[in-house]
Chains A and B, each alone.
Chain A
Amino acid sequence: MPKKKILVVCGAGAATSTVVAEKVRVFLEGLGIDADLQQCKAAEAATRSDGVDLIVSTTRLPADFTMPVVHAVSLLTGVGVDATYRQIESALINP
Chain B
Amino acid sequence: MPMPTMILDERLVLLDAVQADATGVISALADRLFELGLVRPDFKENVLAREVEHPTGLEGMYCRFALAHTESTYVTQSALAMARPVLPVAFERMDGEDGPVLVELVFVLALDSKGHLEVLSSLAQHLQQPGYVQQLLGATDPADVLALLAEL
Please tell me which one of the listed residues A60, A71, A76 contacts residue B124 in the complex, with CB atoms under 8 A apart.
Answer: A76
Interface size class of A (residues with CB under 8 A): 10 to 19
Please tell me which one of the listed residues A12, A15, A59, A78 contacts residue B95 in the complex, with CB atoms under 8 A apart.
Answer: A59
What are 14 residue pairs bridging A and B, where the CB atoms are less than 8 Å apart in the complex?
A: A11-B54, A12-B50, A12-B71, A16-B56, A19-B121, A22-B121, A59-B95, A59-B96, A73-B93, A76-B67, A77-B61, A77-B124, A78-B124, A79-B60
> For residue B58, which residues in chain A have a CB less than 8 angstroms away from its CB?
73, 76-77
Centre residue among A14, A16, A22, A77 by max chain B CB count within 10 A? A77
A interface residues (Cβ-Cβ under 8 A, vs B): 10-12, 14-16, 18-19, 22, 42, 58-60, 71, 73, 76-79
CB nearest neighbor in B for A11: B54
| Cα A54 to Cα B117 with chains together (Å) | 24
B122 to chain A, nearest CB (A): 9
B43 to chain A, nearest CB (A): 14
B interface residues (Cβ-Cβ under 8 A, vs A): 50, 53-54, 56, 58-61, 67, 69-71, 93-96, 109, 111, 114, 117, 120-121, 124, 127-128
> For residue B111, which residues in chain A have a CB less than 8 angstroms away from its CB?
15
> For residue B50, which residues in chain A have a CB less than 8 angstroms away from its CB?
11-12
> For residue A19, which residues in chain B have a CB less than 8 angstroms away from its CB?
117, 120-121, 124
Please tell me which one of the listed residues B53, B60, B114 contacts residue A18 in the complex, with CB atoms under 8 A apart.
Answer: B114
In the complex, are the beta carbons of A73 and B121 less than 8 A apart? no
| Cα A55 to Cα B91 with chains together (Å) | 25
> For residue B56, which residues in chain A have a CB less than 8 angstroms away from its CB?
16
In the complex, are the beta carbons of B60 and A59 less than 8 A apart? no
Shortest Cβ-Cβ A-B pairs, 8 listed = A11-B54, A60-B96, A78-B128, A19-B121, A73-B95, A77-B60, A76-B124, A18-B117
| Cα A13 to Cα B71 with chains together (Å) | 10
